[in-house]
Amino acid sequence: MLFETSTPVMIFFALQNGIYLAILVPIALARVYSSRSPARIWALVALLLCLVGLFTIYVMPAIGLYAGPLFNYATQLKQSGGGLGLPIGASLALVASTTARGRNWPWLDWVHAVVFVGFLLLWAWVSWF
């Protein structure tokens, strides 16, 4: 069909609009639990970005908050980088916690790497093909 959206585009839009952040929350929580400072600080930054993004995407519309300065700021934050600002920022904070001293459970790095590379490959597929 002429205006039919392809499957990779639909999957990417779903991931970009909150599912990716929901996947990162348990990874960041496990990193916060298992690590010591400064890796814990970077994991807390990643967790905070994920929770702010999920609050913006799901909670604010659910409670009917569609006006005011908080809504305007949250909308700008959600739309930063074409909608990729929060997911990429949270992933980069997790990468920073990977390279920081005091990290434990290296298998979390591999789980995050697989998820992050998959997200980036899907973004590349949608953008260039």
For 43-72, the pLDDT digits (tens) are 999 999 999 989 988 888 888 887 888 888
Q: What is d(CA 60, CA 73) in angstroms, rounded to the nearest whole number?
A: 12
Task: State both tokens at 36.
Answer: 């010591």
- In angstroms, the Cα distances linking 77 to 1, 58, 83, 104 are 35, 14, 8, 31
Q: What is the pLDDT confidence band of residue 1, given thresholds at 50, 70 and 90?
A: low
Q: Could you read off the pLDDT of 97-114 as tens digits, one per residue?
A: 998 888 888 899 999 999
Q: How confident is the model at residue 126 (pLDDT cuts 50, 70, 90)?
A: confident
Distance, CA of 97 to CA of 103 (rounded, Å): 7
